[in-house]
């Protein structure tokens, strides 16, 4: 049996209700553990799949008994629990077995119910008066539930910690596979099996990132992406503490939103096969880099930054060229007009289609175009490739 870790001074059970409970517990400890085991298995069958599960559960239940005894005798109302090693080992085992955390909590509830019911039955069978029975139950159950609440919290913490360790190990393993795939040194069949992802498909790479993102927020963002896109397949791997990258096949992410965490999504183009898997990743990574510096918005595609990507190596040439063609429109004060121009060009000069995307009236777009034409040093022509490129290079003009 493990030593007590209550942290509170234990005393001789001079209080009659406590003495009654401790004596009962000492005399029936083996039977109580058996009853708790049966109750836990009945309430949560998933925790016992084989003989090893049976052994770990019994050891965990048994390890609580001396701690529970000490908690009942504690001279102070506070109960601090350092789980016995068997109980902590069982909680971590459930995490490794991918058992739901809810089952761990339910198991503790089931075990507590057994102690309450059997102690109450003992008091009834002892023929004690109603007043004495009520006093014993009130005193003991208060300490019992404080212990069980604290013990369950400690077990939950061990479970969550083990899950995080497993997640980190799995992510490290996946990253190693991805590195080999991108470098062209991986065995494709083995990599597909490890990733659960087929390379014989068309792939869209993505990066989800935020300057202060947490792993939980990134996981939820990937879940949103999966729910929105409904892809045929998806794989995601953490990329440092504030980003996660991955690939999916099929699906549409137009409805993806950043959520309250403000995370952003960078997307590569869709490319087929293993070569496409690598190409789309390069595009998504470049999109993320450029979007962080130059482009706003929750979703940024490679098509949105491809001109910036081509000019990024020679900004000293690209920026002055774009400034000369945008004129006053390059001033940050006219960012709304520049956005209107960008969308109007993308919609092939249609004020109606541009207004729909901007969620304004078509007449508003027409008035903005009149102001844009007055600011531009070049003709306002929706067919002008020069104007399109200048608009895409506008972020470079702002330093």
Provide the pLDDT for residue 312: 74
- For residue 6, pLDDT over 90 is answered with no
Q: Give me the percent of the chain exceeding a pLDDT of 70.
A: 92
Burial state string for 54-90 with b = 16 or more CB within 10 A and e = fewer than 16? eebbbbbbbbbbbbbbbbbbbeeeebebbbbebbbbb
As given in the structure block, the two tokens for residue 221 are 């963002």
**Residues 225 and 265: beta-carbon distance below 8 Å:** yes
Query: Confidence class of residue 167 from pLDDT cuts 50, 70 and 90?
Result: confident
Report the alpha-carbon distance of residue 87 to residue 322 in Å, rounded: 67
- For residue 14, pLDDT over 70 is answered with no
Tens of pLDDT along 211-233?
Answer: 888 888 998 899 999 999 999 99
Q: Which of 1, 145, 158, 143 is nearest to 64 (CA)?
A: 1
Average pLDDT for the chain = 86
Mean pLDDT, residues 92-103: 92
Provide the pLDDT for residue 81: 67
Please name every residue paired with 208 in a beta bridge, in sequence order, or none if there are none.
244, 265
- For residue 104, pLDDT over 50 is answered with yes
**2: which DSSP letter?**
P
Provide the pLDDT for residue 147: 86
Tens of pLDDT along 138-151?
Answer: 777 788 888 888 89
Mean pLDDT, residues 63-72: 87
Mean pLDDT, residues 69-76: 76
Query: Confidence class of residue 247 from pLDDT cuts 50, 70 and 90?
Result: very high
Query: Confidence class of residue 38 from pLDDT cuts 50, 70 and 90?
Result: very high
**Residues 245 and 221: beta-carbon distance below 8 Å:** no
Q: For residues 71 and 264, which has the higher predicted lDDT (pLDDT)?
A: 264
H or E element in which residue 265 lies: strand 264-272
Q: Quick count: other Cβ atoms within 10 Å of Cβ 261?
A: 16
User: What backbone phi and psi angles, to 5 degrees, belong to 205?
Assistant: -85, 155
Tens of pLDDT along 256-298?
Answer: 877 667 899 999 988 999 999 999 999 899 999 999 988 888 8
Tens of pLDDT along 114-134?
Answer: 988 888 888 888 776 677 777
Strand order in the sheet with 299-301: 233-238, 243-249, 202-209, 264-272, 299-301
Provide the pLDDT for residue 181: 94
77 Rama sector, left if φ>0, alpha if ψ -120 to 50, beta otherwise: alpha
Report the alpha-carbon distance of residue 72 to residue 11 in Å, rounded: 10
As given in the structure block, the two tokens for residue 38 are 């049966």
Mean pLDDT, residues 345-362: 93
Query: Confidence class of residue 76 from pLDDT cuts 50, 70 and 90?
Result: low
Provide the pLDDT for residue 157: 93
3-class secondary-structure state, position 378: coil
Tens of pLDDT along 314-324?
Answer: 767 778 788 88
Report the alpha-carbon distance of residue 50 to residue 280 in Å, rounded: 45
Q: For residues 78 and 222, which has the higher predicted lDDT (pLDDT)?
A: 222
Query: Confidence class of residue 177 from pLDDT cuts 50, 70 and 90?
Result: very high
**Residues 79 and 143: beta-carbon distance below 8 Å:** yes
Q: Is 12 exposed, middle or buried (0-12, 13-18, 19+ CB in 10 A)?
A: exposed
């Amino acid at each position: 049996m493990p030593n007590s870790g209550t942290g509170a001074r234990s005393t001789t059970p001079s209080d009659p209700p406590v003495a009654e409970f401790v004596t009962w517990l000492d005399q029936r400890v083996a039977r109580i553990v058996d009853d708790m085991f049966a109750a836990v298995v009945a309430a949560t069958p998933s925790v016992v799949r084989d003989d090893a599960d049976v052994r770990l559960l019994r050891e965990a239940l048994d390890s609580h008994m001396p701690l529970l005894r000490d908690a009942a005798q504690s001279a102070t109302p506070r109960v601090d629990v350092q789980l016995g090693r068997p109980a902590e080992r069982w909680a971590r085992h459930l995490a490794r077995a991918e058992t739901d955390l809810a089952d761990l909590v339910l198991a503790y509830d089931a075990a507590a119910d057994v102690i309450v019911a059997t102690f109450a039955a003992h008091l009834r069978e002892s023929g004690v008066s109603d007043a004495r029975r009520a006093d014993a139950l009130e005193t003991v159950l208060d300490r019992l539930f404080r212990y069980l609440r604290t013990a369950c919290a400690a077990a939950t913490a061990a479970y969550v910690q083990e899950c995080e360790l497993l997640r980190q190990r799995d992510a490290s393993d996946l990253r190693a596979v991805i590195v080999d795939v991108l470098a062209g040194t991986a065995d494709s069949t083995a990599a597909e099996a490890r990733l659960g992802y087929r390379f014989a498909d068309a792939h869209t790479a993505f990066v989800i990132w935020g300057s202060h993102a947490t792993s939980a927020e990134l996981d939820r963002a990937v879940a949103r992406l999966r729910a929105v896109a409904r892809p045929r397949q998806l794989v995601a791997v953490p990329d440092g503490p504030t980003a996660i990258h991955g690939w999916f096949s099929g699906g549409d992410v137009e409805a993806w939103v950043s959520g309250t965490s403000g995370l952003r999504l960078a997307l590569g183009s869709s490319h087929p096969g293993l070569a496409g898997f690598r190409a789309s990743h390069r595009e998504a990574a470049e999109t993320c880099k450029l979007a962080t510096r130059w482009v706003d918005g929750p979703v940024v595609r490679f098509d949105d930054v491809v001109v910036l990507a081509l000019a990024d190596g020679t900004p000293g040439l690209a920026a002055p060229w774009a400034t000369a063609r945008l004129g006053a429109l390059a001033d940050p004060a006219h960012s709304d007009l520049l956005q209107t121009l960008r969308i109007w060009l993308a919609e092939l000069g249609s004020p109606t289609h541009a207004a729909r995307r901007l969620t304004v009236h078509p007449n508003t777009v027409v008035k903005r175009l009149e102001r844009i034409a007055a600011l531009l040093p070049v003709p306002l022509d929706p067919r002008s490739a020069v104007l399109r490129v200048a608009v895409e290079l506008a972020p470079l003009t702002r330093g």
